[in-house]
Structure 1
Amino acid sequence: MHTIERRTPALPYRRPSGSRKRFCTVALGFPFLLATLGVAAQPANPTYDPIVDAVVARYQLPGIAVGVIENGQVVYAATRGETVAESGQPVTPETLFKIASNSKAMTTALLGHLVDAGRLSWDDPVTKYLPDLRMSDPWVTKNMRVADLLTHSSGLPEGGGDLMLWPEPNAFTRADIIHGLRYIKPGYSFRSQYQYDNLLYVVAGEVAAAAGGAPYETLMHREVFEPLGLSRCQVGTWGRDAVGNVAQPHYRKDGRNLVMREDGPTIPAITSDPAGGIRCDLTDMLSWAKNWLVPTPTQLQWLSSTQRQVLQSPHMLIPVSNQRRTWDHSHVMAYGYGWRMADVDGQWVVWHTGTLGGMYSMLALLPDRKSGFVFMINGEAEDARTVLGEVLTKHFTAPGDGRGVTWYADALDHEAAQRPAAARPPDTSAATTVKPGAFAWSGRYRDPWFGQITLCPRGDTVQWASLKSPHMHGTVRQLGKRYLVHWDDPAVDLDAWLDPHAGSPPTLTMAKLDPLGDFSSDYEDLHFERIGGCP
């Protein structure tokens, strides 16, 4: 639920259920914005409005901002819904959204800018800038290049260590991540395959800071936002009310969109900023996209054609899913530096998506056509993102395809319905709360990278609590012969199996109840040992 990026695109997603809800709609025709972007004001667009409206209606989205570029010109920019559901505060082109993993391309652009300036090289060893870095294998530590931080091929298991990033806020620092990496067991051989991770983009941000001589957030503002005129984009610490017009994330419950983890007056810098902590509005995201599609001479001075090609060239192959082969006729899919890429209906598409607990985004570029699109959603929208991204892509790659929002949405629903029982979460309605006297595994436990937890009585329950991640707090239950942890806040994380193991000392392992659940809930990478009794 919290991950910056959940899984490889074009896999079946679950669609939130619930009754249809009324939306505040803002059909973008703001003359000042469209004039800035070089677009004639239009009250409605017969090509794109029906697509956006159909997605909003199908998935009852709280809010969305969508922009389309054709042949280097913004031809469509529209918003729907509200920054906070039922607030009456409309989403506008200046509404800030969490762009989540679309931040990665901004981080790699910062690195490319530093390469152009001679401050670092892609082939530099990471330890040149971060001498304390250690991976589990000393050979990998020695041979880890800056480039290796960016291609999801380091050997880290999918989402490995993400529980140091989410749920937020927590007390894990970037130094904790650099130290903790040495304890995360690899899931595969170095540089042998693609497995999405977020931690190494946090490390990449620290490399940028070391090479650039300033904190990551300072560099991002100074070296990326300011030169490109991204005046609304935010990262680091900033004031919610001073900046204003900030969309809040939502989840679906009982047919309603409800705010989750609402921002306070001060938005703090977070450990995950380089991997996915940036927020931008539609206006700035369209400017960011145009910078890649039709860069100006000034922008080419900011980042050279050489580095642009490096960032958006294939560096690590990604397996092509059956769905992508069927829907898009793709033969090759790869990861660059902060970008994915594939052939879609015979055309080259470069894109990325972002997911961060109630916020979804997608930015797609068709470089050969100087065209693309971007959208941001402030609700639980896995299927909505897949469907909208597919329909907008097909507008360019297969305009006669004839399959619209309804076809793709129904196809995802059908695939979800075919999910085998073994790949579904168990029914936990019969689970019972464990009484302290019936639980033999109470105590304090420690995992070498996640740190300390307590598994201790509280009243008539046994509570699981993390020292460094205070929002990870839940009640131990029993289902059949197995224990599970039910988190107090359903917006915090996926419920988890809890498996005690006898020994000296006793140990605990964990696993997701939903076998196909969010990989950032990487319980499988935890191995707790008992270090003492309950306080």
Structure 2
Amino acid sequence: MGCRTLLLCCALLGWSGVRADARADLDAMFDDTMARYRLPGLAVGVITDGEVSYVRTAGELRAGEGKAIDRDTLFKIASNSKAMTTALLARLVDAGRLRWDDPVTRHLPAFRMHDPWVTREIQVRDLLIHNSGLGEGAGDLMLWPEPNAYTRADILAGLAHLKPTHSFRAHYSYDNLLYVVAGEVAAAAGGAPYETLLQREVFEPLGLARCRVGEFGLDAVGNVAQPHMREGDGNRVIREDAAVVPASTSAAAGGVRCSLGAMLRWARVWLDPDHTLPSGAPWLSPEQRRMLWTAHMPMPLSARQRAWDDGHFLAYGFGWRLSDVDGEYRVSHTGTLAGMYSLLTLLPDRRSGFVILINGDGSDARTVLGQALVKHFTAPGQQRGVAYYADALAAERAEASAGGSAPRDAAARAPTAPAALGPWLGVYRDPWFGEVRLCAEGERVVFRARKSPRLVGTVQRVGARDLVDWDDPSVDAEPWLAFAAADGGADVRLTLSHVDPQADFSYDYADLAFTRVRGCD
């Protein structure tokens, strides 16, 4: 790249550059993370004092195909979409179209929670801060794995059947479904679909040209990273996009895609409290900016945050997590989907921060690199490298496993014979998840979810118990099956539970309560 071209790129991105020694440190973090976790792709951007100071990308859109990731590559940002949803709602509040303390039923009259009192009392603000009383990830099986046939209407109807695990507003428990409801509140108040409003109120005024929500053509948009999972020593594409990427039911909770360049632009908007539109008007009022970054719901502080960050508090704002690190204020959020990981961290008092985007198995990589990057700002004299945090995280996981949190031994298994499950075979229905078939197919018993086509697997016998071994290896949380019968066998029930108690909470098997409705065809 020529000097004039490099300068032009820097100017367009707002890149002021960093000192040579600082860049060497950042390069070392980047290289060590790629090597340690053998990622298919990684994109990192750093902002220092309001300007983009470092950008680096590596890897491929699809492993082995040679198409390189760059600053314009689209990644799924997953739950970093939530801050965009709350920003959209804040724009509607500024416009007088809704209020944070509006009852949800004012905008969605058909909305119902399991408890009629909660239905009456829950406000728009409650949809955003994980205080609903639902268990962690309740109902997420209507969102993921994608693609599936659940609609936003299904989610609104299903919420009435999801039983709370604790009292309304009692404490924090992360959920996604109520962000989908929040997107529908925005649509009702704004008079247009969620996707249209997000484009109009967020993407267009802020110049986020490389962000997408809703249906789009893969080739027309181009440069779209695909998710991967580890396979042996390499990475394999999973859940590959079709030629036409469909609109996502989960858009308001985790369905936005953006490039590194767009995410850096988004981050700089939040680091500039006086950001205005070309007309000179503020994009958001100071009052609404404060609302989004107010600590509305306390969160439990982990031992790791105390040890690594000298942390003292953790709370949820509207779509943002608020905390302290080495005595400095931090605003941040993660995003997690199968084969896609994101992290946006801001240090507002420094007008600094960073973005991490990964298109592979990146949970530990995100944790480790994010920690090294934040210490780059808050503790430069005591900074430890990626290897230190990676080793510490590995030791933490090993200790947890030794303490009894490892999954039960389910390695010795064999397909369950249809005769062994004869009394339990049939078609079952759950009030919110819908129908599943548990029927013989040849010499095996197959579990098939009617509206979630990736949830298909063979029933396997482990000792005296049965589990489902999913056909799709990217569905990585197996369930135990448990049967019960009453009324002389007329009333047959099926419940599911995690084989691995540490499995992703979005596989919310505990919320399912199936009743057999008919026999197998």
The 1:325–1:43 alpha-carbon spacing in structure 2 relative to 1, beyond 3 Å, is closer
Unaligned runs of 5+ in 1: 1-28
1:317 — aligned with what?
298
Q: 2:308 aligns with which of 327, 338, 349?
A: 327
Distance 1:283 1:33 in 2: 11
2:49–2:352 CA contact under 8 A, matched in 1: yes
> CA deviation digits over 1:192-211, x for unaligned, max 9?
10000000000000000000
Partner of 2:386: 405
Letter of the aligned partner of 2:123 in structure 1? R
In the TM superposition, what is the alpha-carbon distance from 1:407 to its structure 2 partner?
0.5
1:424 aligns with 2:400: no
Structure 1 residues 500 and 33: CA distance shift in structure 2, 3 A:
farther
Contact kept? 2:16, 2:52, Cα under 8 Å: no
8 A Cα contact 1:493 1:521, kept in partner = no
Cα displacement (A) at 1:470:
1.3
- Identity of counterpart residues, as a percentage? 58
Corresponding residue to 1:246 among 206, 218, 224: 224
Of residues 97, 104, 107, the one that matches 2:85 is 107
Q: Give me the whole-angstrom Cα distance separating, in 2, the residues matched to 1:471 and 1:92.
A: 31
SS state at 2:475 partner: coil
Deviation, structure 1 residue 404:
1.3
Task: Give the Cα separation in 1 of the matches to 2:222 and 2:318.
Answer: 32
Give a deviation string over 1:431-488, Cα, whole Å, max 9, x none.
1101111212100111111011110000000110111111111111111111101101
Residue 39, structure 1, aligned to residue 15, structure 2: yes
**2:376 is equivalent to residue 395 of structure 1:** yes
Which residue of 2 is the match for residue 158 of structure 1?
136
C-alpha distance in 2 between matches for 1:263 and 1:43: 40
Q: Secondary structure at the match of 1:351?
A: strand
Q: Which residue of 1 aligns with 2:121?
A: 143
How far is the alpha carbon of 1:32 from its aligned partner? 3.9
1:108-507, aligned counterparts within 5 Å? 108-294=86-272, 295-298=274-277, 301-418=282-399, 419-420=401-402, 422-439=404-421, 440-504=423-487, 505-507=491-493
Q: Which amino acid aligns with 2:44?
A: V
- How far off its partner does 1:428 sit? 2.3
1:75 aligned partner: 53
Looking at structure 2, the residues matched to 454 and 62 of structure 1 have their Cα atoms a distance apart, in angstroms, of 36
Deviations 1:49-105 (A, max 9, x none): 111111111100111111101111110111011111111111000000000000000
Q: Aligned to 1:532, which of 475, 496, 518?
A: 518
Aligned AA for 1:393?
V
What letter matches 2:450 in structure 1?
L
Alpha-carbon separation, structure 1, partners of 2:281 and 2:375: 30
Structure with greater helix share of residues: 2
CA deviation profile, 1:387-442 (whole Å, cap 9, x unmatched): 01101111111112232100100011111111236311123221110111121210
Question: Could you tell me how far apart the structure 1 residues matched to 2:361 and 2:109 are?
Answer: 40
User: How far apart are the structure 1 equivalents of 2:103 and 2:51?
Assistant: 40
How many Å separate the matches in 1 of 2:208 and 2:396? 40
- Distance in 2 between the 1:168 and 1:33 partners? 36
**Alpha-carbon RMSD:** 1.4
CA distance in 2: counterparts of 1:193 and 1:124, whole angstroms: 21
SS in 1 for 2:486: coil
SS of 2:45's equivalent in the other structure is: strand
Query: What is the TM-score when the length of structure 1 is the normalising length?
Result: 0.93
Q: How far off its partner does 1:40 sit?
A: 4.8
Q: Is the 8 A contact 2:248 2:255 kept in 1?
A: yes
Q: Distance in 2 between matches of 1:38 and 1:523?
A: 46
Please identify, of 424-433 and 86-95, the stretch whose mean Cα deviation from structure 2 is larger: 424-433
Residue of structure 2 in register with 1:15 after alignment: none
- CA separation in 2, counterparts of 1:300 and 1:518? 43
**3-state SS of the aligned residue for 1:477?**
strand
1:476–1:486 contact (8 Å) kept in structure 2:
yes
Matched residue type, 2:460: R
Of 52-61 and 487-496, deviating more is 487-496
2:503 to 517, 520, 523: 517
Which whole-Å CA distance do the structure 2 matches of 1:492 and 1:300 have between them? Answer: 47
String of CA shifts for 1:361-411, please: whole Å, max 9, x gaps.
000011111111011000011100000110111111111223210010001
Deviation at 1:30, TM superposition (A): 5.0
Deviations 1:286-320 (A, max 9, x none): 10000000142328622111101100110000000
Residue type at the aligned position of 1:465 = R
On the 8 A contact 1:31/1:41 being kept in 2, the answer is no
Structure 1 residues 40, 307: CA separation in 2 closer, same or farther (over 3 Å shift)? closer
* Whole-Å separation in 1 of the counterparts to 2:197 and 2:89: 10
Q: Are 1:333 and 1:343, in contact at CA under 8 Å, matched by a contact in 2?
A: yes
Higher relative contact order (CA 8 A, sep 6+): 1
SS of 2:482's equivalent in the other structure is: strand
Q: Alignment partner of 1:225: what SS?
A: helix
Q: Secondary structure at the match of 1:185?
A: coil
User: In structure 1, how many angstroms separate the alpha carbons of the residues matched to 2:411 and 2:303?
Assistant: 34
**2: CA distance, partners of 1:107 / 1:39:** 27
Q: Does the aligned pair in 2 maintain the 1:172–1:271 contact within 8 Å?
A: yes
Give the match's secondary structure for 1:160: coil
Confirm or deny: 8 A CA contact 1:250 1:359 kept in the other structure. yes
CA contact (8 A) 2:16 2:51 kept: no
| Contact 2:322 2:329 (C-alpha < 8 Å) held by counterparts | yes
SS of 1:128's partner is helix
Kindly indicate whether the alpha-carbon contact (under 8 Å) linking 1:353 and 1:360 is maintained by their aligned counterparts in 2. yes
Query: Shift of residue 43 of structure 1?
Result: 12
Question: Amino acid of the residue matched to residue 503 of structure 1?
Answer: A
Is 47-56 or 94-103 further displaced after alignment?
Answer: 47-56
Q: Is the 8 A contact 1:339 1:351 kept in 2?
A: yes
Q: CA deviation digits over 1:116-162, x for unaligned, max 9?
A: 00000000000011111111111100000000000001111000000
